[in-house]
Amino acid sequence: MKIIEIGDFRIDRDTFRASIRNRKVRLTLKEFTLLVYFAKHPSRIIGHQKLVSAIWAADAAGQPERLRVLVGQVRKKIEHKDTPHYIVTEPWIGYRFEPAGEASPFQVQPNQVQPNQVEL
């Protein structure tokens, strides 16, 4: 699938272009890779190490801080004060991508997570 249309997002993997609600978003290659990974796993909690391995592959060791920075950079480009939250931090676990946004700041607590909702 070369074009991913999910929620508020349209991601063209051939041209490395992404848009949110028809607004173009300029992303670096790593930011784009992260957004594509999230789009392929919507509404699932993805563990930090799983994301690090998916983004940096063989160079994954010691990248947790780089992951936090990368997620922060993507958030700055896709999140706005008056829009829903797309990337939700799940404390001590990882992140969850909500392509249509999350209406409230509620975060799933670790004891409420079902095993099939988490990729560690």
Q: What is the pLDDT of residues 46-58, one digit of tens each?
A: 999 899 989 988 6
pLDDT bin (cut points 50, 70, 90) of residue 102 is confident
The model's pLDDT over 25-81, given as tens digits with 9 standing for 90+, comes to 999 999 999 999 999 999 999 999 899 989 988 676 666 789 999 999 999 999 877
- The CA distance from 88 to 96, in Å, is 5
> CA dist 9 to 35, 36, 58, 87, Å?
10, 10, 29, 13
Beta bridge partners of 3: 12
Q: Is 100 helix (H, G, I), strand (E, B) or coil?
A: strand
Mean pLDDT of the chain: 85
Report the predicted TM-score, pTM, of the whole model to 2 decimal places.
0.82
